[in-house]
Amino acid sequence: MGRIPSTTQENLPQATPSPFLKRYRQRLRLFWQRWLLPVLLALTIATVASLVMPLGLFSFQPLPELGEEDIGRPFRGVEPFKVARDIEVVDEISTQAKRERMRDRVLVVVDYEPSTQEAILRNIQRGFKNMRAVLAQERGAANAREAKTNKRAEAERQALLQKAKAVFLENFSTLGDEDFEALVGDRFSDASEKAAQLLIDVAYKSRLLSSREALLQMNAADLRVRTLGGTGEYMLRALPPEVMDLQEAQTELDRFASVPGNLLPETSPLLRRAVLRLAKRELRANLTINRAETETRRAAAYAEVAAVRVVLRKGQKIIGDGELITHAHLRLIEALRSQADPTENLRQHVGSFSTVLLFLFACFVFFRTALSRFRPSSKDLVFLATLLLGMVLTLFFWRIISEALSERHPRLSLQALQALFPLATGAALVRFVLGEEAALFFAIAFSAIAGMLLGDSLSFASAALAVSCLASASIARAQDRKGIFKAGLLSGVLAFFVMFFWGLAEGKYLWECLATGFSAMLGLSFGLPALVMALTPIVEFAFGYASDLKLLELANLNHPALKELIVRAPGTYHHSIVMGSLVESAAQAISANPLLARSCAYYHDIGKGANPRYFAENQKGENPHDFLRPVESAAIIKQHVIDGLELAKQHKLPKRVMEAIPQHHGTRRIAYFFHKASTQAGEGVQVDESAFCYMGPKPQFREAALVMLADVAEAAARSSASTSPEELKTLVLKMVNLIFSEGQLDECDLTLKDLHKVVDAFVVALSGIYHARPQYPAEAFKTNKPETTPKLLST
């Protein structure tokens, strides 16, 4: 015998709060679930994502403090110091070297005076002419001296020579007495004059500088020649015979004069030496280095050279652990330090945070408004956020591991190592325990964040989205490990082609594309099934979800709750089994979850096991309700919902299955006892209807609504005298219309089209259960064989 409530009051509904307070609480709960909780979770995700994304200039590594004293020492760091994003830095050393080279390429500017040679030749001509005139005067005086004494004549001669030398110095440079007397002895003849002019012509076949030391100091191999008084410029080699200094020109005259026959062959050596020394002393530079113009041009060339910028690619190593520090490392680090902005990392983290936050908000708003079936509860939002954070952090650490492996083994492709990460695991797990809308939302959100996390990689983002969608679709109805591995294999094959063709589109080598594709296929084919099977029990335990694997366990009739029900309430047990068949066929017709619907049907009335004899399907003989008031009977009937929830908690049934226990009744009225109470009260007496209504809530998901519809349809069919398909359809339509008209289906997403499919499925299933059987004649049970075995039961 089941327990009977000792009093009526303990089963009556408790006092309810005021309507205003009830509406306020409901609005607050809706605001929390629909907006406040999603915003808080999105803020958390965006914060974590912005911290792990490699957007900062130096990522999370502090800039090494290195100086000149560290050169030659090994660098010590937890990981190699790398650049977190593409950046250009100025190489000051290379810039300075390039500017110096461009400065040195500017030719030394020299001014050429073409009249120098002509002036010297004219000076020689005038000097020799003047000297001949002086010497002609000296000859006339010599005839007069013949009558004078020798002593007086010699004095006059010396005075004349002094006068002649003074005239000589007016036109020529100083000359030794020996050379001067040799020229005087030759009477400054025309031959000597022409010889001197010949030497000047020989010397000025080259351009003459005062000294070559200045050119050597200015590192000039070529000269930029400007003719004074002209407009053009030309280049000249700063080497003999094009350009000589005065010393080199004098040496050239010595060589020329040493050749027999070149200089006064019929005269004495003294005269030749005198003419040669005279010509050498008369040489003047006709090239003058213009230092001011040269420096101006070199300064302009120096300033025009742009700074040498070194492009550092994202992930490029600057210095690794154990690597000896060099000047090049110091220059790069100093360049990075010079471009470092104290607010840059903050600005970039704020930007990444805002990007992720706005992306999640936009996706959530779209899914909430455009997809009517996307109505995640608070628990669902927490689960999605937790899983998304877990996937993002795991991918972050996997990126660090793959970079370290690629650093130690350069032959391993970094992209291939990153592709080993099973990108579709999260979406597949969401689809395994929730609906396809939640899985799509998760796939879009994670794919975008994964692409940013792996360096704004569009290839990884697109691959993650594609394989997540396929994995979610293929794992939706996986009821064993084979189905899960099949989903992993299908998504792995898709990942291979996506990564392979993306590599070709990016212009990579064929072997790199193949390596990345095979890595992605291996990661998903084996990693996804392993992770899904490992995480599913944890998720089920932590959040109370029921995957298809869990539902298969619940659908096993050997479950302790069902075995207890068949002992205590066999009629209810049979009713639940029939309900399972009905809702499973209906769920298949409207693409709901058949396993979830069947599990909800099996356990929807387990609370009746507490007081089984108070329910019609378990009664044999007297009805206990005949001795109770209608309100007491209604309280006992409603109590089976509370008892059912307690038993569900004891047996740790999934949340969805537990929710179906109160929802399959909704807020419907217990019509039989309400009518009985109204009849007993008499006309004009108002009966409290709330005492005869279930507490609800109304069905919130399709499978719970199917259980409600199947419950009334099966009860009506069981009590119907006619079980023909036509009569059953009329009866089922009537009951479905009744539920619909009561508004019990307002809070679930069953459409009218779905209801028509449900009616058809119910009719087919009920026809198979309650079909009319032929009446067998008595002769069908007789046998012609003698009865040789004892009877088990006696009549």
Q: What is the 3-state secondary structure (H, E, C) of 577-597?
A: HHHHHHHHHHHHHCCCCHHHH
334-343: long-range contacts, CB 8 A cutoff, minimum separation 24: 334/92, 335/89, 335/90, 335/91, 335/92, 335/310, 336/57, 336/58, 336/63, 336/83, 336/87, 336/89, 337/63, 338/89, 338/90, 339/57, 339/87, 339/89, 339/90, 340/57, 340/58, 340/63, 341/57
Segment 288-300 shows an average pLDDT of: 92
pLDDT band at 794 (very low <50, low <70, confident <90, very high): very low
Amino acid 387: pLDDT: 93
pLDDT digits (tens, 9 = 90+) for 107-161: 999 999 999 999 999 988 888 888 888 778 766 555 554 544 566 666 766 676 7
- Answer yes or no: is pLDDT of 777 > 80: no
pLDDT at position 2 is: 42
Cα–Cα nearest to 315, from 51, 90, 80, 507 = 80
Mean pLDDT of 319-331: 77
Q: Do the beta carbons of residue 704 and residue 749 sit within 8 Å? A: no
Mean pLDDT along residues 712-722: 82
Task: Count Cβ atoms below 10 Å from residue 766 Cβ, excluding itself.
Answer: 27
pLDDT reported for residue 60: 45
Max mean pLDDT among 208-222, 511-525, 545-559 falls in 511-525
- How far is residue 40's CA from residue 205's CA, in Å, rounded to a whole number? 92
Residue with tokens 């050239």: 252
- Phi first, then psi, for residue 256 (nearest 5°) are -65, -40
For residues 422 and 523, the answer to whether their CB atoms sit within 8 Å is yes
Separation between Cα atoms, residue 324 and residue 71, nearest integer Å: 7
Radius of gyration of the chain (CA): 56
SS3 207: strand
At 607-636, the pLDDT tens digits run: 998 888 888 888 887 888 888 888 888 899
pLDDT value for 779: 56
Cα-flanking dihedrals φ and ψ of residue 344, to 5°?
Answer: -65, -50
Beta strand 207-209 pairing with 243-245? parallel
Q: Distance of alpha carbon 578 from its chain centroid, rounded?
A: 54
The residue type of 112 is: Y
Q: Which of 12-21, 366-375, 655-664 has the highest mean pLDDT?
A: 655-664
Structure tokens at 90: 């100025």
- The pLDDT, as a whole number, for residue 792 is 40
Question: What sign results for the dihedral spanned by CA atoms 239, 240, 242, 245?
Answer: positive
pLDDT number for residue 353 = 87
Tell me which amino acid residue 43 is: L
Residue 47: count other Cβ atoms within 10 Å of its Cβ.
15
pLDDT for res 139? 60
* Cα–Cα separations (whole angstroms), residue 567 to 247, 562, 570, 646: 131, 9, 6, 18
Return the half-sphere exposure (C-beta side, CA atoms, 13 A cut-off) of residue 479: 10
Helix, strand counts (H, E) of the chain: 31, 10
When pLDDT is cut at 50, 70 and 90, the band that residue 7 belongs to is: very low
Distance of alpha carbon 515 from alpha carbon 23, whole angstroms: 60
Q: Strands 233-237, 222-227: parallel, antiparallel or unpaired by DSSP?
A: antiparallel
Residue 793's SS3 state is coil
Strands 81-82 vs 317-319: parallel, antiparallel or unpaired: antiparallel
Question: Going by C-beta distance under 8 Å and a sequence separation of 6 or more, which residues neighbour residue 290?
Answer: 109, 110, 111, 226
Nearest residue to 711 via CA among 783, 762, 780: 762
Amino acid, res. 609 = G
In this prediction, residues 390-418 reach a mean pLDDT of 85
- Report residue 473: phi and psi, to 5°: -70, -40
Judged by DSSP in three states, 115 sits in: coil
CA angle 745, 608, 696 (to 5 degrees): 30
As given in the structure block, the two tokens for residue 190 are 């025309």
Other C-beta atoms lying within 10 Å of the C-beta of residue 771: 11
The crossing angle, in degrees rounded to 10, of helices 246-258 and 190-203 is: 130
| Secondary structure of residue 221 in the 3-state scheme | coil
CA nearest neighbour of 363 among 576, 663, 46:
46
Please name the helix (run of DSSP H) or strand (run of DSSP E) that holds residue 754, with its range, or none. Answer: helix 752-769
Report the pLDDT value the prediction gives residue 113, as an integer from 0 to 100.
92
Report the C-alpha gap between 53 and 51 in whole angstroms: 6
CA distance 411 to 405: 10
The residue among 695, 766, 708, 762 whose CA lies nearest residue 739 is 708
Higher pLDDT, 23 or 384: 384
DSSP SS3 for 615: coil
Q: What are phi and psi of 218, to 5 degrees?
A: -95, 5
Long-range contacts of 97-103 (CB under 8 A, 24+ apart): 98/305, 98/308, 99/302, 99/305, 100/302, 102/301, 102/302, 102/304, 102/305, 103/298, 103/299, 103/301, 103/302
Tokens of 266: 């019929």
Q: Which residue has the tokens 């396809």?
A: 436
Residue 585 CA to residue 597 CA, distance in Å, equals 9
Query: How far is 405 from 418, CA to CA, in rounded Å?
Result: 10
Residue 493 has pLDDT above 90, yes or no: yes
Both structure tokens of 525? 């084919």
Residue 50 near residue 356 (C-beta atoms within 8 A): yes
Q: Are 674 and 687 in contact (CB under 8 A)?
A: yes
**Whole-angstrom distance, CA of residue 645 vs CA of residue 653:** 9
Between these two residues, 722 and 642, which has the higher pLDDT value?
642
pLDDT higher for 54 or 414?
Answer: 414
The pLDDT, as a whole number, for residue 795 is: 36
**First CA to last CA distance, the chain:** 30
Token representation of residue 318 = 């600057």
pLDDT of res. 6: 40
**Confidence class of residue 225 from pLDDT cuts 50, 70 and 90?**
very high
Q: In the predicted model, what is the mean pLDDT of the chain?
A: 82
Between 28-37, 82-91, 455-464, the lowest mean confidence (pLDDT) is in 82-91
pLDDT score at 22 = 65
DSSP 47-77: HHHHHHSTTSTTTTSPPP---GGGTTSBP--
b vs e for 545-568, b when ≥16 Cβ sit within 10 Å of the residue's Cβ? bbbbbbbeebbeeebebbeebbeb
Residues 75-85 pLDDT 10s: 776 567 777 66
Helix axes 481-505, 458-475, angle to 10 degrees: 160
Written as one letter, the residue type at 173 is S
272 φ, ψ to 5°? -60, -40
Buried b (16+ CB within 10 A) or exposed e, 512-544: bbebbbbbbbbbbbbbbbebbeebbeebbeebb
